[in-house]
Structure 1
Amino acid sequence: MDNDFVVWFSKSFGLFYLIGLSIIILAYAYWPSNKKQFDEAAQSILGHEDKPHKDEPWR
């Protein structure tokens, strides 16, 4: 095995690896049963507060 073959193989394998990983991530993100989980996560960051915290004064 020479250096050119190793470079070619690693570039090719890396390309297919990243394409496959991207497809898996997209399938997971758009899977219908995960919608509730993602909606809850999106709303949890907002919390139930509608004004700044009173203990921390603005400087």
Structure 2
Amino acid sequence: MYETLAKFAQTWGLLLFVLAFVLVLIYALNPRNKKKFDEAKRIPLEDEEDGNGGKRD
């Protein structure tokens, strides 16, 4: 029983993780997401305001 369950989990687990990796790769490299990623990469460079309307140091 254990060997059967372990073999099933190893085989289908590997396939599940490979499929998830491919889907994430497709999402990350999709040209439609370029604008979203370009905006996100600029977030650390933007000036932020504190809660009182002033600039943070």
**TM-score range for the pair, normalised by the shorter chain length:** 0.7 to 0.9
Q: CA deviation at 1:48?
A: 3.8
Moved over 2 A (4+): none
The structure whose Rg is larger is: 1
TM (normalized to structure 1)? Answer: 0.77
Task: Provide the identity percentage.
Answer: 32
Unaligned runs of 5+ in 1: 54-59
**Number of residues paired by the alignment?**
50
Unaligned runs of 5+ in 2: 49-55
Q: Secondary structure of 1:35's match?
A: helix
Tell me the residue number matched to 1:42. Answer: 41
* Higher RCO (Cα < 8 Å, 6 or more apart): 2
TM (normalized to structure 2)? Answer: 0.80
* Alpha-carbon distance between aligned partners in 2 of 1:34 and 1:9, rounded to the nearest angstrom: 36
